[in-house]
Amino acid sequence: MKCMIVSDIHGSYEDFKRIVEIFEEEHMEQFILLGDLLYHGPRNPLPEGYNPKETAVLLNHYKDKIIAVRGNCDAEVDQMVLDFPMRADYTQLYIDGHRFFVTHGHLYNEDEMPLLNQGDIFMYGHFHKPVAKLIDGIVIFNPSSISLPKAGVKSYGVYENDELKIFSLEKELIESIKL
């Protein structure tokens, strides 16, 4: 299974359009969306290409390939325009024998970890900084943000063949970790 992991779109249509291009070029099978899909939030500036209405249309085009969780900037009104569920605070996925705990990061994060076992993957967004590391036998993974990165590079994640990778929107490898 080849999955694209995206967090913190914040309604940036142009950046999400680029993500969709990469998704298609790389023959991805699934989107894992880590929240903050449409709204930029009161603490953030408007991202480039801010167009939540068109972003929702593009997201809905991929509704059958999306697994999503709620971010702190996501609201009930967002769910009303999206054709896939995105209101859960977390979900667990089992892919290729690995258990992924998927959340946004505002409730569960490195300082507030959920109950996990060695070998699990903790996947979150929210902080807009790329992370790929192993702590106490648990893989910690954050693909950063495609619209408002705090580390300077817009990025996304990929899971394939027991490896997690973080790439810039220019498809340059930033970090990776084997599972």
Share of the chain above pLDDT 70, in %: 100
Percent of the chain with pLDDT over 90: 93
Instruction: For domain 3-178, give the CATH superfamily.
Output: Metallo-dependent phosphatases (3.60.21.10)
Least confident of 48-52, 54-58, 124-128, 136-140: 48-52
pLDDT at 42: 82
As separate numbers, helices (DSSP H) first and strands (DSSP E) second, the chain gives 3, 11
> Would you state the structure tokens that stand for residue 110, as one six-digit string?
């490195």
Burial (CB < 10 A; 0-12, 13-18, 19+), residue 129, is: middle
**80-111 burial, b if ≥16 CB within 10 A, otherwise e?**
eebebebeeebeebeeeeeebbbbbbbebbee
3 state DSSP class of 57: helix
The model's confidence at residue 45, banded by pLDDT at 50, 70 and 90, is: confident
Q: pTM of whole model > 0.85?
A: yes
Q: Check residue 41 and give its pLDDT.
A: 81
CA nearest neighbour of 164 among 124, 107, 112: 124
Q: What is the pLDDT of residues 95-148, one digit of tens each?
A: 999 999 999 999 999 999 999 999 999 999 999 999 999 999 999 999 999 999
Check pLDDT > 90 for residue 46: no
Q: What is the pLDDT of residue 121?
A: 98
Mean pLDDT of the chain: 96
Distance between CA atoms of residues 82 and 12, nearest Å? 15
Whether the per-residue pLDDT at 84 is higher than 90: the answer is: yes
**Cα 60 from chain centroid?**
16
